[in-house]
Amino acid sequence: MKTVAPHDRPREKLARLGVAALGDNELTAIVIGQGRAHASALDLANAVLARCGGLDGLARARNDDLCGVRGIGPARAAQVLAAIELGRRTLSRAGRRHRVQLLTPRDVAEFLLPHYGAGPVEQFGVVLLDTKHRVLRTTVLSIGTLDASIVHPREIFREAASGGAAALVLFHNHPSGDPDPSPEDVELTRRLVKAGILMGIDVLDHVIVADVRYCSFKEKGLL
């Protein structure tokens, strides 16, 4: 960081101007902490962002992606991944001192996107709701490959019954960034809706999230 004026180094700039004044690379440099021989923390940050395809890609990065940058070992990769996850959790819980009520597909999407929209692998889960459609809890039931996950109806409704849910919303993410459902998604959803009728637990929707977009089966008339 010797080529950068002392008052313009990321930490000093943050203290002087506030966090909003820093660029993506400067914030990443602060998380990385230190550079390596012949490369500053800012150089490493630029290399990380270039490898991941910018901030959007960084949000979906995995340990191996980060460790592929020279100078980023397991410890620094863990720092970056932890910072990303903290940001997701902060967004998903901000302003939510009371239980969240999900009345529309958009409500569901806004609830899920900060935490699951940029996931690097497919995750399938449920949002359990009470009789007023307030969130009881959110549970991931399956973590699959980049293009598939495995889930069984008994796992879903065991979770719903143990959680005292009156209704639930199915969800999963598409790492491809395209939230449109596959034929398999449609078939699985129909099976689960039928199972919910037998169990007396309403399956209100199936929402697919992908980056900043979503697809609601309810909105598309697929339920």
Same fold, 6-92 and 96-216: no
How far out from the chain centre does Cα 50 lie? 21
CATH architecture of 6-92: Orthogonal Bundle (1.10)
SS3 119: coil
Interatomic CA distance for residues 138 and 170, integer angstroms: 10
Report domain extents, the chain: 6-92, 96-216
* Global pTM value: 0.65
Q: What is the pLDDT of residues 163-221, one digit of tens each?
A: 899 999 999 999 989 999 999 999 999 999 999 999 999 999 999 999 889 999 999 99
DSSP 163: T
Q: What is the pLDDT of residues 52-87, one digit of tens each?
A: 988 888 888 899 999 999 999 999 999 999 998 888
Q: Which CATH number fits domain 96-216: 3.10.580.10, 3.40.50.2000, 3.40.228.10, 3.40.140.10?
A: 3.40.140.10
Structure tokens at 55: 């901030």
